[in-house]
Structure 1
Amino acid sequence: MMRLDLEIDLLFIEIGDRINIPITNDKILFQNMSSSESSEDMDRWQSVFAAVTDSELRFYESAPWSGEAWRAPAEAYSLIATRLVGSGKRAELPEFSIRCATVEGVITHSLRAETHRDLAGWAKALVNGSHASAVTQRELVCRCVWKGRPAQLVIHYENGFTLLEAGTGSRTLWRYSFDKLRNSSDDGKRYLWLDFGSGEETEVELDMEGCPKPIVFILHNFLSAKIHRLGLSA
Structure 2
Amino acid sequence: MQKQSSSYSRKQNHNQQSQDNLTESNISPLNSQNKDLSNTKKSSTTTTSQQTSNDSMLYETKRISLRLCYIFRRSSVTNDILVLSSSSSSSSSSTTTTTTTPITAPSTSTTNGSILDIVLPYAQTCYSVRFVDDMHARKWFHIIHSKISRCLLEILPEIEEYFYVARHANEVKALGWLTEQVNNDETTSLTKSWKPVFLVLTDAEICFLCCAPVSRQTCREPDLVYSILSTRLVQSSRDQINDGDVSLLSLRVGTKFGVVSHTFRVETKADLNYWTKAISQCLQSAVVRIKEVVFPCKWNNRTCKLFLHYEHGFTLYSDPTDSVTSAGNATSTGNVRLLWQQPFEKLRSSADDNEHLLTLDFHGEEGVVELDFGTSPKPFVFHLHAFLSAKAARIGLVG
With normalisation by structure 2, the TM-score equals: 0.50
In structure 2, distance between residues paired with 1:2 and 1:83: 25
Residue number in structure 2 paired with 1:147: 300
Q: Quick check: 1:83–1:100 contact (8 Å CA) kept in 2? A: yes
Amino acid at match of 1:183: S
Return the offset for 1:162.
0.7
Deviations 1:189-224 (A, max 9, x none): 11111111266x410000112211011100110110
1:206-225 alignment, distance < 5 Å:
206-225=371-390
Amino acid at match of 2:368: E
Runs (4+) of structure 1 exceeding 3 A deviation are 1-5, 39-43
Return the offset for 1:157.
0.8
In structure 1, distance between residues paired with 2:169 and 2:211: 22
Residue number in structure 2 paired with 1:190: 356
Whether 1:73 aligns to 2:186 is no
User: What's the secondary structure of 2:392's corresponding residue?
Assistant: helix
Q: Quick check: 1:94–1:113 contact (8 Å CA) kept in 2? A: yes
User: What's the secondary structure of 2:172's corresponding residue?
Assistant: coil
User: What's the secondary structure of 1:193's corresponding residue?
Assistant: strand
In structure 1, distance between residues paired with 2:294 and 2:260: 23
Residue number in structure 1 paired with 2:171: 27
Return the offset for 1:33.
2.8
With normalisation by structure 1, the TM-score equals: 0.83
Percent of aligned pairs sharing the same letter: 38
Inter-CA distance 107–4: structure 2 relative to 1 (3 Å threshold)? farther
In structure 2, distance between residues paired with 1:87 and 1:100: 16
Give the gaps of 5 or more residues in structure 1: 8-22
- Select the structure with the greater relative contact order (CA < 8 A; seq sep ≥ 6): 1
Q: Could you say which structure has the larger radius of gyration?
A: 2
RMSD of the TM alignment (CA)? 2.6
In structure 2, distance between residues paired with 1:107 and 1:3: 27
Inter-CA distance 35–97: structure 2 relative to 1 (3 Å threshold)? closer
1:64-143 alignment, distance < 5 Å:
64-90=213-239, 91-92=241-242, 93-143=246-296
Residue number in structure 2 paired with 1:228: 393
Residue number in structure 1 paired with 2:205: 56
Residue number in structure 1 paired with 2:147: none
Q: Quick check: 1:4–1:50 contact (8 Å CA) kept in 2? A: no
Q: Quick check: 1:28–1:54 contact (8 Å CA) kept in 2? A: yes
In structure 1, distance between residues paired with 2:343 and 2:256: 26
Amino acid at match of 2:305: Q
Inter-CA distance 223–169: structure 2 relative to 1 (3 Å threshold)? same
Give the gaps of 5 or more residues in structure 2: 1-68, 74-81, 83-166, 181-185, 321-333
